[in-house]
Structure formats: C-alpha cells, structure tokens
A and B are shown apart, each in its own frame.
Chain A
C-alpha cells in the first residue's frame, strides 16, 4: 500500500465526499421535484383523477426529451442554465444542476410507473367513501405506492453514481474525476482500482438499503 500516500488518502476522501454531495443533493432535488410532477402526470393522464390531456401531453413530452438526451450532451447543452443557477459551470456545485435535471426526468417516469401499480380498486373505494382528490393522493396513492417509490429512488441513486462520474470527468470533481486524473492520466492503476472498488461498494450499499426498505414497507 506504499502508493497510498497521505496526500492521496486525502484526495480519495475528498473525492468520495464530493460524489456523495453530488449524488445526495441531486437525488434530493429530483425527489422533491419528481414526486409532484409524477403525481401531476398520473392524475392528468387518461383515466386519471382529473384527466387533462392539454397538460399531460406536453409535460410527458418534456420529460421524455430530457430523458432521451444522453447525459453528457445534456450537461453541455444546459451550461447557460447551469451558470444562471450555480454562477459557474465547473465544480461540484455546478455538476449538481444537470445531475438533478437528469435524475428528475428519470425519476418522474419511475415514480409514474410505481403510481400506476397502485390497485385502482383502492382508489375507487376511496372515491366511493367521499375522499377529496388531495386525500386520494396523500392517503391512498402515495402510501400504497411507497415501496415502489422507494425502489425507484434506489434505481435513481445507483444511476446517479454513474452520472456523477461523467460529471466529474468534465470538472465536477468526485471519484470519477479522481479515477480519470490519477488512474488514467498518471498511470496509477491502483488508484483506478480503489476508485472502482469504492464505487462498487457504494452502489451495493445503496441497493441493499433500498431493497431492505422496500421489503420492510411492502406488507404483501
């Protein structure tokens, strides 16, 4: 382990921290923005709680447009927007902007699928009992879909770890950036291997945590 100098240790720790910040903050933004959007799409969809095709279609189209743009292109394409929000286009803070955007679009669809899995009979029963639309959303749809929503967040977190490495490579910092700069450009395969192992452990940990939560919550 002679290659693991104190400087490199510090760098690894810092990179790990940057990755966590990028993934964590963008996931948080994606959940906060994605859930209302998914509920809106679900409710305004055909046969939804209040079907509104004029709202549903453009919204769905927008989400798909963001989702179908490769992340690396999306990141470059929205640089002006990133500058506007973050004040800069380089660094961990700036990387969060495109990451959050991509993750939101990704999560909206996954959330929508989870909501669609809710037994429509339960919604009908709530309607028959005189529930308001908001009550149906917060007391039926969201709680019943919760295991599916958590599973969706898990998938999004894992994807975000991958995206964050791409963001890192173009100046966002984090483990991906470290791997490229030291492992690849300075021919330090040990650093590359360490980065890869940390990423694998991180993804594995997130997945296990998500699976455990889903199991605990499903009650099936």
Chain B
C-alpha cells in the first residue's frame, strides 16, 4: 500500500486511524481497520462499490456515525474526545454535500443557504450579507427566492454546496455529490468544487462509485472494498499501476483498457510458428508522446494489433494505456518486451 503512511508536508486536515465499525452485533463489518490521511488543500477521493463502507467512513469524519474503535482527527481536533456542544461547534467547521441534496423543501434558495448561519445564531442582517456573497459563488443569484422544487438537479446541488460553505468551513465532505446528476451536470459540479477548493483553500474529501469523478478532480484516491482500504495513492499512480483486482476493474471503467474479448476473437489466428500474446503497455510522462508502438513493429518485425487504448492526462501528467495483440516468435516477443521495459514503459502480459 502506497502513500498512506507517507507523512504529508503540512498537518493533515483529516487523519483517521484504525477505524472499525460493525452495525449489528455479529453483522457485516462496515469498517475494518481503516486509516488514512487527507492533506490540507487536497481533493481526496474514496471510491468503492455500494456496501464497501465508504459511506460509513465519510460519516465518521463528522461523527454522523460513531466508529466502534479508532481515532478521528479533523482540522487538528480529536473529534471523539469532544462533548456534544464541542462536537456541534466542530461540525460547523465541516461542510457536507449530499447525493440527494437534502434541501428544506419549504425554504427558498436563500433560506436554505442561510440555514447553517441561523443555527449558529447569526443575526438576520449578517445572514443576508453572507448569502449575498455565497450565491454568486455558485452562480445562483437569479434563483435566490425559488423553492427547491423549481430547480434542476444541478441547481439543487449548487444550493447544497453554497449551504455547506455558508459557515466558512475549511473541510468539505461530498457524499456521492454527483451520483444523482447527468454526466454534463456532473462535470459542471465537479469543476465548481475544484474551483472552490482553489479559491477558498478548502480540503475536499469525497466518496463516489465512479472512477471518472476521481479521475477528473481528485489528487489522491483510496479504493475501498469490504470495509477496508485496499489501495491508495496519487490518482495517476493508481490509474496507471493498479495493484488490486478491485482497483483494476474501477480503472478499466474509467480508462477503457479492458481487453475487448470480441475484438480478440475476430483476429485471424497467428501465422504458423508464431505466438500470440496480449500486452498491456503503459506510457507515462515523456514516452506518452513518442511513437513507440510503431518502433516495436518495425524494429522487431512484430505484427501488432491495437485492441484498446487511451491517451490522456491526469493532473496535467500525460499517460497512455494500450492493449496490444502481438504475433511473433517467443524469442522476438521477449526481446521486444525487454526493449520496451528498458525505455521505462510498464508492460504486462494479459491472458489472451
């Protein structure tokens, strides 16, 4: 497991250590010894299937859910040591955005955004002033007097975000914030979250079941399965070199480098005396722009077929993944693989 134990430059915004949680006695384990650190100012994603425990985990960060064991330090405060009023105070410094927005149906946009301030006992005039600052931030000035039922999903989530930011939190928790939205709106909301992180120096912890969300805005990611963090690290590392099967499946969805069985089956059989291997070749950094595939074909005289591939960039770092079928003699294949590895490419043989 990479990066988890790696000390972060600044004090972490969130530090979870050894969290365990079991719902009913003897029931399924929701969290099984989860530890992770979220650095101040980063966007940290937790990805997993439903039931993997990510929802329980994010709820532990503001103690909506109490772990059976473990330590939770948020913005330097040991949350489990706080009494009820201390916890309420701490929660006011942690914003939360929800999948189903969770807006008050009988309050207008402005009244929804003002709600956390009302709870904190801010005078009416100050609340109005703050709301007037927040609505332009999420592009909803024109909707201030609308009721949630009159808004689109994306607009509702913008209200949710403005509300979460009302009390000026330094940490924003996003619980599947885009899972109820269409792809276009998802992209807008993610761009907004990233923009707000940059402008307000927020730390963002989000959970999602979509690797695409992680790819587009996260700096680091943790992959959860059955209550455990099975893999974690910088997004580019996890995407290009997934270590576990779960991660591989998630990455395949987002990168599109799953072996296309149908395409493979349609290829004519290799010529007599030649072997066929299926290779997954990963390029990173400068290699991503070099015509290596062509070189392999011409230099080693290998018949190559590109089965799947993608060239992309994560966090500004270009990478390419390609799934190739290569027909050649065993010796030539070994030679070519060695040559590519020599250039710093990652080459894996996949089951043909």
Contacts and interface: CB of A to CB of B under 8 A. Distances in A.
B330 to A, nearest CB: 60
A220 B103 CA distance: 12
Interface stretch (A6-14, A98-106, A108-116, A126-134): A126-134
Q: Determine chain A's interface SS by DSSP, over half rule.
A: helix
A130 B102 contact: no
Interface residues of A, number: 23
A144 B94 contact: no
B289 interface: no
B154 to A, nearest CB: 18
Interface in A130-176: 130-132, 135, 139-140, 143-144, 146-147
A122 B106 CA distance: 11
Q: What range describes how many residues of B lie at the interface?
A: 20 to 34
B314 to A, nearest CB: 30
A125 interface: yes
Contact of B64 (A128, A139, A143): A128
Interface in B94-140: 94, 96, 98, 100-107, 115-116, 118-120
Contacts of A126: 115, 119
Interface string A188-212: 0000000000000000000000000
Question: Which one of A122, A146, A220 has the greatest number of beta carbons of chain B within 10 Å?
Answer: A122
B91 interface: yes
A126 B64 CA distance: 11
Contact of A129 (B91, B100, B103): B91
Contacts of A140: 104
Interface of A: 119, 121-122, 124-132, 135, 139-140, 143-144, 146-147, 217-220
Interface of B: 62, 64, 87-92, 94, 96, 98, 100-107, 115-116, 118-120, 147-149, 163, 167, 173
15 contacts: A121-B102, A125-B96, A125-B98, A127-B64, A129-B115, A130-B87, A130-B89, A130-B90, A130-B119, A140-B104, A143-B106, A144-B106, A147-B106, A217-B106, A218-B106
